[in-house]
Amino acid sequence: MRLIALTTLSLSISLLLPAPLTYAASTTAPNQDDIAWLRRDSFGLNTTTVTQYRSLGRKVLLDKQLNDKLGDTLPTPIATQIDGYEAFHTPLDQLLTSLQQEQQQLNTMPNGPERQAANNAIQAHGNEVGLEAQQAALLHAIYGPNQLKEQMVWFWLNHFSVYAPKGRVRWELADYEQNAIRPHALGKFRDLVMATLQSPAMQEFLDNAQNAKGHVNENYARELMELHTLGVNSGYTQQDVQQLALILTGVGIAPVDGKPQNFNPKMAPLIVRDGMFEFNPQRHDFSDKVLLGKTIKGSGYDEVKQAVDLIVKQPACAQFISRKLAEYFVADNPPPALVNKMAQTFQRTDGDIAQVVRVMFQSHDLVAGTGKKFKDPTQFVVSSVRLAYDGSPIVNAQPLVNWLNQLDQPMFGRITPDGWPLDGEAWSSSGQMAKRFDIAHAIGTGNNQLFTPVGSTTRTAGFPMLTTRLYYDVIDPYLSKATRDALAKATSQQEWNTFLLSSPDLNYR
């Protein structure tokens, strides 16, 4: 069973919901093609998104989004909430220094209850910092003014996936999203690859921080080609993996213990540091390498830049990234002609992500499959909250994180480095749909903690009222008969909300 049948769920309901206020559709309401485009352009419709579209029109809106002219400014209450998170107001080096000091102190303690309590405190602190990064990512997705960019941030976080529970990664997530992914989400793909390569979260997750001459670790080199750039069966060999791993020796994380490092004077000029990133030439293999048929002379960090340049210019990279983007935005099996056109643009523009996305969003293929692309859990949760609360600032984002955990797509929780699946089949089992109905009920009835501050029992909002101008303009005209029949059998506004949010119409985009 791919979807909950709303008519089955409501068979026992015999009373009709009192008729809601009647609105005539606005004469300036976007038409069906506009709505289909907007549902792909954003995480989900709300009044701001529709108003923005009416005001600017599709072409100008797309231009502003792709040129990043809408900014990242969040509503003041949401921005204040994120600014209050330790993970966002404390620099990463300070976070890691504090963690290291706590761990060193722990190591001096004898085994026993006190040591266990101290260890539990460290773990709890790390969990809290990681939770803040999860909450901030979801708040950006819900309230970000550039919804296309917010989707691209989520797409790249998933594409360059890291696993929060491993090592110190929890502590590094906010830095990863803020400094590696978000600034490059619509820029050059090469710059994005380099930013993730230099990020402590990626270095620790895929073990390149341990990659050194004489102790080579191939994990990151393999995933850099297989999952991040070229894809499987794209022509590279195991020897290419081994050579790339040698190129990446010495690429790692700067120490935070404050102790001076003793470098050979001849090596000191070759050190590269950028924030917490460090290229340590004393750990690097300076032999010449052959990668993808091209010789790269042993020279230090410049080898890394040459290798990434070589990889991202491969036709296989253009095809792999273009197809994955089209799979996320267009269809589980995107049209080959569209993917080829995107890949040609990728190569012609030297991997300009915005230009590749432009080709996709100007294509008829984007809306040709409207209503057929099944939402993944993140899209479902974010779109439901955007529609239900329509810009009202929530004060507690923990339920958002909990709902994704329940839907088996925890943010930063994919243990393998391949990221969460993008196809609908992965997320449409009967068990998944039952959980979605429960979450739709929590949102639709207001039976959640979104408007209850953490540690408080004071509620500042009730259930949402979905029968608004937004609903009658952009949702009601396009509902299926099955959904209309089910909605007609609801006995309360809360039940009506639940049926709408869990309907097939709102589980597809």
**CB 162, CB 227: distance < 8 Å:** no
Mean pLDDT of 278-306: 97
- Where residue 258 falls among pLDDT bands split at 50, 70, 90? low
Per-residue b/e over 82-96, b at no fewer than 16 CB within 10 Å? beebebbeeebeebb
Residue 362 and residue 378 in one domain: no
Cβ atoms within 10 Å of 229's Cβ, excluding its own: 22
**CB 159, CB 419: distance < 8 Å:** yes
State the burial class of residue 508 (Cβ atoms within 10 Å of its Cβ: 0-12, 13-18, 19+).
Answer: middle
Residue 394 and residue 431 in one domain: yes
Q: How is 168-184 classified by DSSP, letter by letter?
A: THHHHHHHIIIIIIGGG
Nearby residues of 32 by Cβ (< 8 Å), 6 or more positions away = 477, 478
Residue 271 and residue 359 in one domain: no
Q: Check residue 460 and give its pLDDT.
A: 61
**CB 158, CB 147: distance < 8 Å:** no
Q: Of 461, 425, 204, 436, give the one whose Cα is nearest residue 332.
A: 425
Q: Check residue 7 and give its pLDDT.
A: 38
Residue 333 and residue 258 in one domain: no
Token pair of 167 as six digits: 């090592």
Look-up of token digits 């266990």: 116
Q: Of 384, 284, 103, give the one whose Cα is nearest residue 95.
A: 103
pLDDT at 94 over 60: yes
Whether 349 is covered by a domain: the verdict is yes
Question: Model confidence over 129-187: pLDDT tens digits?
Answer: 999 999 999 999 999 999 999 999 999 999 999 999 999 999 999 999 999 999 999 99
Query: Is 329 in a helix, a strand, or coil?
Result: helix
Least confident stretch, 148-152, 368-372, 468-472: 368-372
Q: How far is CA 323 from the centre of its chain?
A: 18
Residue 260 and residue 304 in one domain: yes
- Where residue 264 falls among pLDDT bands split at 50, 70, 90? confident
Residue 36 and residue 75 in one domain: no
**CB 47, CB 391: distance < 8 Å:** yes
CA distance 2 to 199: 39
Residue 471 and residue 397 in one domain: yes
Least confident stretch, 88-102, 246-260, 487-501: 246-260
Residue 393 and residue 501 in one domain: yes
Residue 164 and residue 101 in one domain: yes
Whether 418 is covered by a domain: the verdict is yes
| Residue 479 phi, psi (nearest 5) | -75, 145
Whether 205 is covered by a domain: the verdict is yes
Number of domains forming the structure of the chain: 4
CA distance 433 to 420: 18
What's the pTM value of the predicted model, to 2 decimals?
0.93
Residue 402 and residue 460 in one domain: yes
Whether 394 is covered by a domain: the verdict is yes
> Looking at 158-267, which runs of residues are DSSP E strands?
251-253
Mean pLDDT of 413-420: 98
Whether 1 is covered by a domain: the verdict is no
CA distance 288 to 388: 59
Q: At what angle do helices 430-445 and 398-406 cross, to 10 degrees?
A: 160
Whether 194 is covered by a domain: the verdict is no
In terms of pLDDT, which residue wins out, 7 or 69?
Answer: 69
**CB 279, CB 304: distance < 8 Å:** yes
Residue 50 and residue 76 in one domain: no
The DSSP H or E segment spanning 132 is helix 113-143
Residue 357: give the domain boundaries: 322-366
Look-up of token digits 């994955």: 324
**CB 197, CB 224: distance < 8 Å:** yes
Q: What angle do CA 24, 387, 491 make, to 5 degrees?
A: 70
Whether 111 is covered by a domain: the verdict is yes
Residue type, 237: T
Whether 193 is covered by a domain: the verdict is no
Mean pLDDT of 387-393: 96
Look-up of token digits 């209050």: 84
Q: Of 330, 342, 323, give the one whose Cα is nearest residue 366.
A: 330
Residue 37 and residue 76 in one domain: no
**CB 339, CB 322: distance < 8 Å:** yes
Tell whether the torsion through CA atoms of 461, 466, 468 and 474 is positive or negative: positive
Cβ atoms within 10 Å of 350's Cβ, excluding its own: 13
CA distance 396 to 173: 19
